[in-house]
Structure 1
Amino acid sequence: MLIGHIKEIVRHPVKSFSGESVKQTKIMDYGLYGDRSHAFLDETRPGKFLTITQFAEMVQYKARFAGEDSIHKYPCVEITTPKGKIVGWGDIGLKREIEEQSGRKISFVTYPPNHVPLGAIEEEHIQLVTDASIDQLKKLWEKDTIDYRRFRPNLFISLIAKIPFIEEQWFGRRLKIGENVVIELKRHCERCMMITVDPENAKKDPSLLKTIVNERNNYFGVYASVIKIGEIFVGDEVVLLD
């Protein structure tokens, strides 16, 4: 059954930096190509990553792959700082800037294109949200608008039947995207303070998390695992399989 189309594809080359909206990408066995493949290890918390939770201003740094995807080697990771400066991944000035502002000692870590461990991605391979659910949440939050980027999804799906939270009824079922890709919807995405951070200016509004806790049992968006790899494009049909 055709349930919708891919409205936007977002991957995050650097964990907790703003991601890049792409017209097409590969779906690897770990999720979108290069998603959370580069990260900062938080040396003050051994084995942990530095994220928006510890340093909200990370969301104001933008990261993108400057080149074509390759399973052998990443394109250069281009980072735009909040002040508009463009640097590459591994830049010592970038490291020093984030350490000074966050008050933490950090180090760079990069995972290969063929395997980004689940720890970097955190929960599952892919997270998705739908336009109908975003629209309903906007009403629950009683705001004129809501930036879906707060939720850091990989796939933003435009539904044919605008039924809010219908995706939560599909756990255990599979979606086919485009010609080849198949994912299986697994479970709810439980939210944290990260969604309170405005992706444009890093200002916090705790009322959004409070709304989701009270109205949605702290759930918004769903996780999925990759069943069949391939390439996806914005505009691809999304089909709910039997």
Structure 2
Amino acid sequence: MAPPQFGTIEEIWRYPVSSLGGERLTSVELGTDGIEGDRSWCVADAQSGHPAAPEKEARWKPALFLHSRSGRDRPEIGFPDGEWLRVGERDTDAKLTLYFGFEVETRPYVATGDAQTAVNRYEVSPVHLVTTNSLRHLSTIVGTDDIDSRRFRPNVVLRTPAAEGFEEKSWLGSRMQMGEATIHICEEAKRCGMTLIAQPGLPENPDVLRSLLRQNKRNFGIYGDVEISGKLTLGDPVEIVTG
């Protein structure tokens, strides 16, 4: 079990379009459903309607080289050429189709106007956390200088002091005060092939997933339910309030 106050908020992320790169934030409101706008849209196969699955289908791996950010009323997708286009527009879908080499369109997970919706491939947890200590520990196991948090697509990275192993598993069932919000740590995060896929500045690295499979039952990080909503800001203290 972690001591009552044991860390601070190091990074905050939102991923407006699932399977694409996200946006790094300095502060955000965390509601009972998570960070507003997080994973609210997807890129999907226009014929089947199935959302992108880079960890399962090689044709979707280029998704990791696209970025997403919140727009005025809809998310925007950033392309390698520097252009940003709004989701739900024909021009955006046309450029995505050219980029992937097959017919692609953007879809929301919740009905928005006349846009066709997509069905999420998995149950989304309100908040996903990883720690700097576990990233360091995994780097040691893999034998690399640094494992980037972007491989795991967390909402929050906690800066924690050095500890043995993957410390988060000892927090299961605890309540955590994080900034102004209170969350209940409910389960470990099971990892998939997304962790090894190349993305900007990160080469493909199968040893990441292999190491987690051998050393931690394929888990890395934790999921939490939000019991009390509140603002999160970089540098906010994090503490365990109940076990």
Q: TM-score range by the shorter chain?
A: 0.7 to 0.9
Amino acid at match of 1:214: R
Alpha-carbon offset, residue 25 of structure 1:
0.8
The answer to whether the aligner puts 1:35 opposite 2:38 as a matched pair is: yes
Q: Distance in 1 between matches of 2:108 and 2:159?
A: 33
The answer to whether the 8 Å contact 1:4/1:157 transfers is yes
Query: Structure 1 stretch 158-167 or stretch 185-194: which is displaced more?
Result: 158-167
Counterparts of 1:92-171 in structure 2 under 5 Å? Answer: 92-102=90-100, 104-111=102-109, 119=120, 122-160=123-161, 162-171=163-172
Instruction: Let me know the Cα RMSD of the aligned residues.
Output: 2.5
Q: Normalised by the size of structure 2, how large is the TM-score?
A: 0.84
The whole-number CA distance in structure 2 between the counterparts of 1:45 and 1:193 is 22
Q: How far apart, CA to CA, are the structure 1 residues paired with 2:222 and 2:45?
A: 27
Who is 1:86 aligned against? Answer: 84
Is the 8 Å Cα contact of residues 80 and 87 (structure 1) preserved in structure 2? yes
Distance 1:102 1:203 in 2: 20
Aligned counterparts of 1:63 and 1:235: Cα–Cα separation in 2: 24
Is the Cα–Cα contact under 8 Å of residues 133 and 161 in structure 2 kept in the other structure? no
SS in 2 for 1:49: coil
Match of 2:213, SS state, is: helix
CA 1:34–1:163: 2 relative to 1, 3 Å? farther
Gaps of 5+ in 2: 112-117
SS in 1 for 2:214: helix
Partner of 1:71: none
C-alpha displacement at 1:201, in angstroms?
5.8
Shift of 1:31: 0.9
Q: Which residue of 2 aligns with 1:174?
A: 175
The answer as to whether partners of 2:183 and 2:226 remain within 8 angstroms in 1 is yes
Matches within 5 A, 1:183-194: 183-194=183-194
Unaligned stretches of 5+ residues in structure 1? 68-73
Query: Following the alignment from structure 1 to structure 2, what is the Cα–Cα distance between the partners of residues 13 and 121?
Result: 16
Tell me if structure 1 keeps the 8 A contact 2:109–2:119: no
Identity of matched residues, %: 27
* Number of equivalences: 230
User: What secondary structure is seen at the aligned counterpart in 1 of 2:133?
Assistant: helix
How far, CA to CA, are the matches of 1:205 and 1:44 in structure 2? 31
> Aligned partners of 2:241 and 2:229: how far apart in 1?
16
Other-structure match for 1:61 = 66
Q: Deviations over 1:177-207 (max 9, x none)?
A: 123x111111111111111112216753222
Shift of 1:101: 4.5
d(CA) in 1 for partners of 2:63, 2:133: 28
